[in-house]
């Protein structure tokens, strides 16, 4: 019954006019971003961060969260209609969704995507409400050694679940940690790696790196490929499902939701991984395997449910442990810090208004998406015809203004440009930037907890193994690594990402 | 004669070695401390050292295991887009937002696949007006707008 009371408290916060309005703006902008390819939720949230400075913390976080899950909705719309994934997490939706559209079944495909997302969003919201508070209680008892090992586990699983070479992903994490150390060392007050540049004494902002690597680099890469877009189904009609379609989709939605909710909690998980895993699972257990890739409705329903569920539950490690599971969550930490909120288990306990308000707003946001999105599809499709040559200078400009407004220093813009160049080199050398971002945000925390743990143990590294929680996590990390290095699993992992 | 079999791995590894090595080298001017009382150099040396070692392995693997050729570098969008951003940064406080916007839009558009001067100028004008209304008038951000306004 405590749960109901808490949800009531949350609804009270989320249903105020201001929060409703910003929630709406968030999901609307999110959908827009999801529809437009070449502009991810991370760069958008970073660009819009300055708009949230004047808001109360809860309103700011509600809007930013709305952008994230709104983008999952929008991404599927373009995947189905144009065979162009607006978001990386809707890549698999293209496979069957676009085929359905070609067969004149764009309406049912869009409807099932929206309904699956809504169902998954609702379920995932309940998962957060049920599991986050007890987890936070547990996390309150974590000492520095346990926290350090927890972060190691998080980083290891982020590497294991990411696509591409393991070794390079590890290197990217380490590089990210090093970049995160730039600035004043909190313990000694000594400026490290600042090259006597005064603007670097506070370190490089996460947002600045994110804009460079995800904003500028994306634009440059998009300009390299000349793609043409063919918009399908100019008129989308019949936005409803037949009975047989509903029957086929419902169990797939259920499986996708469960799988996505679980994978979202894992560090390194989130929307992208969930959608891939759900599609693979669905294809394996389906009775009509031959239909997959040719317009199977299960092939749209399961990944759409999974990516939305995963996007939502990835808030759990953020809200209970203060540890981001993916770069978007790392940006949420950045946003919290701007508003002087220390991410971690204290949020659930000391700021129930913030915590429950955010959770309730997620459900309301999902409801808004399902109500507004289907009627607005015509508008989204028209937006797709905006040529990229008008779009990319605008993206660059908003990134530039966003960066400048963080601390009114043009030096930050040049740093971001440098990271744009670095990001380009990373992509060309097949090094994933996501682990770099995780390392960047976790680096200073890792150092701090390592220092504290070893201070308490007087320099004895065995403390990480004598503390049961810490030992458990390190063992889990080791097991994960061993499993992934085994040749059989490695092959399978490559297969999953190849699909 | 050593042949590079995977350019991507070989150069990625070199990059990691360079970053890790530089970090370790730069950290040596700070006090190192001990495990129980870490100085500012302790953690960076640890991480940088690990990165150097792993980077070297990645590089050596590039010599042993065949891989794909490096993706082609397209210099035009890379240089012009970044030049646009960098010039935007230089122009912003000296010449104001309005001129900075025109600089950014013109330079970055030169990096695009097609460039029509009229369309580009119209886009810049629209963006300048929109930014003025939203960021300066609406949100009240303290961004210098016109030349010599400071």
**Contact assignment for B50 to A192 by CB distance below 8 Å:** no
**Chain B CB contacts of A408 below 8 Å:** 142-143
Instruction: For chain A, say whether B104 makes contact (Cβ under 8 Å).
Output: yes
B86: nearest CA in chain A? A414
- Residue B149 class from Cβ within 10 Å (0-12 exposed, 13-18 middle, 19+ buried)? exposed
- pLDDT value at residue A70: 86
- Token output for B69: 């050729």
**Chain A CB contacts of B135 below 8 Å:** 401, 405
Q: B27 and B44 in contact (C-beta within 8 Å)? A: yes
- Lowest mean pLDDT segment, chosen from A354-358, A369-373, A438-442: A369-373
- In this prediction, residues A443-448 reach a mean pLDDT of 89
Tell me, yes or no, whether B45 lies in a domain.
yes
Band of pLDDT at residue B42, cut at 50, 70 and 90: very high
Q: A223 and B77 in contact (C-beta within 8 Å)? A: yes
HEC string of chain B equals CCCCCCHHHHHHHHHHHHHHHHHHHHHCCCCCECCCCECCCHHHHHHHHHHHHHHHHHHHHHHHCCCCCCCCCCHHHHHHHHHHHHHHHHHHHHHCHHHHHHHHHHHHHHCCCCCCHHHHHHHHHHHHHHHHHHHHHHCCCCCCCCCCCC
Q: What's chain A's average pLDDT?
A: 83
The total of structural domains in chain A comes to 1
Q: Is B109 a residue whose pLDDT tops 50?
A: yes
- Interface pTM (ipTM) of the complex? 0.93
Q: What's chain B's average pLDDT?
A: 88
User: What is the DSSP code (8-state) at residue A339?
Assistant: T
- Token output for A316: 């759990």
- Lowest mean pLDDT segment, chosen from A31-45, A432-446, A457-471, A482-496: A482-496
Domain that holds residue A151: 2-498
Task: List B148's β-bridge partners, or say none.
Answer: none
In degrees, to the nearest 5, what angle opens at C-alpha A403 toward C-alphas A416 and A358?
A: 115
**Chain A CB contacts of B143 below 8 Å:** 401, 404-405, 408
**Contact assignment for B26 to A193 by CB distance below 8 Å:** yes
pLDDT tens sequence across A150-208: 888 888 877 776 667 888 989 999 999 999 999 988 888 888 888 888 888 888 988 88
Among candidate residues B19, B39, B64, the one where a domain is terminated? B64
More confident of the two residues B6 and A149: A149
Residues whose CB falls within 8 Å of the CB of residue A45, separated by 6 or more in sequence, listed in order? A64, A67, A68, A328, A331, A335
**Contact assignment for B127 to A393 by CB distance below 8 Å:** yes
- In a shared domain, residues B54 and B109: no
In a mutational test of the B interface, the residue from A171, A197, A388 whose CB has the highest number of chain B CBs within 10 Å is A171
Measured CA to CA, the distance from residue A247 to residue A209 in angstroms comes to: 46
Domain that holds residue B81: 75-138
**Chain A CB contacts of B54 below 8 Å:** 167, 170-171, 174
- pLDDT value at residue B26: 92
**Chain A CB contacts of B19 below 8 Å:** 175, 178
pTM over the 0.90 mark: no
- pLDDT value at residue A233: 46
Distance in Å, alpha carbon of A355 to nearest chain B alpha carbon:
28
Tell me, yes or no, whether B148 lies in a domain.
no
- pLDDT value at residue A450: 92
Instruction: For chain A, say whether B121 makes contact (Cβ under 8 Å).
Output: no
Q: Is A138 a residue whose pLDDT tops 80?
A: yes
- Lowest mean pLDDT segment, chosen from A74-78, B90-94, B105-109: A74-78
- In this prediction, residues A256-282 reach a mean pLDDT of 80
Task: List A191's β-bridge partners, or say none.
Answer: A184
- In this prediction, residues A351-379 reach a mean pLDDT of 85
- From A150, A162, A165, A167, select the one nearest A476 (Cα to Cα): A150
User: What is the DSSP code (8-state) at residue A188?
Assistant: T
**Contact assignment for A416 to B51 by CB distance below 8 Å:** no
- pLDDT value at residue A345: 84
Band of pLDDT at residue A382, cut at 50, 70 and 90: confident
- In a shared domain, residues B38 and B81: no
**Contact assignment for A171 to B85 by CB distance below 8 Å:** no
- In a shared domain, residues B90 and B131: yes
Q: Is A495 a residue whose pLDDT tops 70?
A: no
Tell me, yes or no, whether B94 lies in a domain.
yes
- pLDDT value at residue A135: 85
In degrees, to the nearest 5, what angle opens at C-alpha A13 toward C-alphas A12 and A18?
A: 120
- Residue A32 class from Cβ within 10 Å (0-12 exposed, 13-18 middle, 19+ buried)? buried
Tell me, yes or no, whether B60 lies in a domain.
yes
Instruction: For chain A, say whether B85 makes contact (Cβ under 8 Å).
Output: yes
- In a shared domain, residues B83 and B134: yes
Instruction: For chain A, say whether B17 makes contact (Cβ under 8 Å).
Output: no
**Contact assignment for B119 to A389 by CB distance below 8 Å:** yes
Tell me, yes or no, whether B41 lies in a domain.
yes
Which of A61-100 are b and which e, b meaning 16 or more Cβ less than 10 Å from the residue's Cβ? bbbbbbbbbbbbbbbbbbbbbbbbbbbebbbbbbbbbbbb
- In this prediction, residues A42-63 reach a mean pLDDT of 84
The total of structural domains in chain B comes to 2
Tell me, yes or no, whether B144 lies in a domain.
no
B87: nearest CA in chain A? A414
- Lowest mean pLDDT segment, chosen from A7-21, A118-132, B68-82: B68-82
Instruction: For chain A, say whether B49 makes contact (Cβ under 8 Å).
Output: no
> Residues A303, A304, A308, A311: is their CA dihedral positive or negative?
positive
pLDDT tens sequence across A277-317: 888 888 888 777 777 878 888 888 898 899 888 888 888 88
pLDDT tens sequence across A90-106: 778 888 888 888 888 88
Instruction: For chain A, say whether B141 makes contact (Cβ under 8 Å).
Output: yes
pLDDT tens sequence across A326-343: 788 888 888 888 888 888
More confident of the two residues A77 and B59: B59
More confident of the two residues A88 and A338: A338
- In a shared domain, residues B132 and B101: yes
**Contact assignment for B70 to A393 by CB distance below 8 Å:** no
**Contact assignment for A188 to B31 by CB distance below 8 Å:** yes
- Token output for B70: 């490096």
Size of interface A-B (CB pairs under 8 A): 193
- pLDDT value at residue A230: 52
User: Of all residues in chain A, what percent carry a pLDDT higher than 70?
Assistant: 91
- In this prediction, residues A465-473 reach a mean pLDDT of 89
């Amino acid at each position: 019954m405590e749960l109901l009371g808490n949800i009531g408290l949350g609804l009270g916060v989320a249903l105020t006019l201001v929060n409703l309005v910003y929630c709406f703006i968030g999901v609307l902008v999110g959908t827009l971003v999801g529809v437009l390819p070449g502009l991810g939720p991370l760069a958008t949230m970073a660009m819009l961060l300055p708009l949230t400075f004047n808001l109360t913390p809860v309103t700011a976080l509600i809007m930013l969260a709305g952008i994230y899950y709104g983008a999952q909705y929008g991404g599927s719309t373009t995947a189905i209609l144009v065979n162009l994934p607006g978001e990386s997490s809707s890549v698999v939706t293209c496979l069957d969704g676009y085929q359905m559209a070609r067969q004149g079944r764009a309406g049912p495909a869009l409807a099932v995507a929206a309904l699956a997302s809504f169902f998954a969003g609702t379920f995932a919201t309940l998962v957060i409400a049920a599991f986050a508070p007890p987890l936070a209680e547990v996390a309150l008892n974590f000492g520095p050694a346990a926290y350090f090992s927890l972060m190691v586990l998080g980083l290891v699983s982020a590497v294991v679940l990411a696509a591409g070479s393991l070794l390079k992903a590890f290197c990217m994490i380490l590089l990210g940690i090093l970049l995160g150390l730039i600035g004043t060392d909190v313990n000694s007050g000594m400026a490290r790696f600042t090259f006597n540049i005064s603007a670097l004494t506070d370190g490089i902002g996460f947002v600045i790196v994110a804009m460079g690597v995800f904003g500028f680099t994306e634009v440059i890469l998009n300009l390299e490929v000349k793609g043409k877009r063919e918009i399908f189904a100019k008129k989308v009609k019949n936005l409803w499902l037949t009975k047989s379609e509903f029957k086929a989709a419902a169990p797939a939605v259920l499986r996708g939701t469960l799988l996505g909710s679980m994978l979202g909690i894992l560090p390194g998980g989130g929307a992208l991984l969930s959608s891939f895993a759900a599609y693979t699972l669905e294809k394996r257990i389906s009775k009509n395997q031959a239909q997959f890739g040719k317009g199977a409705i299960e092939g749209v329903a399961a990944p759409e449910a999974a990516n939305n569920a995963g996007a939502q539950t990835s808030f759990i490690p953020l809200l209970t442990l203060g540890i981001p599971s993916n770069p978007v969550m790392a940006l949420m930490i950045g946003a919290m810090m701007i508003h002087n909120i220390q991410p971690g288990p204290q949020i659930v306990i000391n700021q129930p208004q913030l915590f429950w308000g955010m959770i309730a707003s997620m459900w309301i946001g999902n409801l808004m998406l399902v109500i507004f999105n289907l009627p607005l599809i015509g508008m989204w499709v028209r937006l797709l015809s905006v040529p990229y040559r008008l779009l990319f200078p605008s993206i660059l400009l908003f990134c530039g203004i966003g960066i400048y407004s963080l601390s009114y220093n043009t030096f930050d813009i040049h740093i971001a440009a440098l990271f744009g160049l670095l990001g380009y080199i990373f992509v060309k050398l097949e090094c994933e930037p996501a682990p770099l971002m995780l390392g960047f945000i976790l680096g200073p925390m890792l150092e701090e907890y390592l220092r504290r743990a070893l201070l308490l143990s007087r320099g004895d590294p065995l403390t990480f193994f004598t503390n049961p929680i810490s030992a458990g996590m390190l063992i889990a990390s080791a097991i994960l690594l061993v499993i992934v290095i085994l040749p059989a699993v490695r092959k399978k992992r490559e297969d999953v990402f190849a699909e | 004669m050593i042949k590079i079999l995977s350019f991507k791995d070989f150069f990625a590894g070199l990059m990691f070695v360079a970053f890790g090595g530089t970090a370790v080298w730069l950290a040596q001017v700070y006090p190192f401390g001990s495990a129980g009382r870490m100085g500012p150099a302790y953690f960076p040396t640890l991480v940088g050292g690990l990165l150097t070692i792993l980077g070297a392995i990645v590089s050596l693997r590039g010599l042993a295991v065949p891989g794909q050729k490096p993706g082609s570098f397209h210099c035009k969008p890379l240089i012009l887009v970044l030049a646009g951003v960098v010039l935007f940064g230089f122009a912003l406080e000296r010449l104001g937002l309005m001129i900075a916007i025109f600089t950014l839009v013109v330079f970055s558009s030169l990096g695009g696949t097609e460039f029509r001067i009229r369309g580009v100028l119209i886009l810049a004008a629209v963006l300048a007006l929109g930014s003025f209304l939203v960021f300066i008038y609406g949100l009240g951000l303290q961004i210098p707008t016109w030349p010599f306004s400071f």
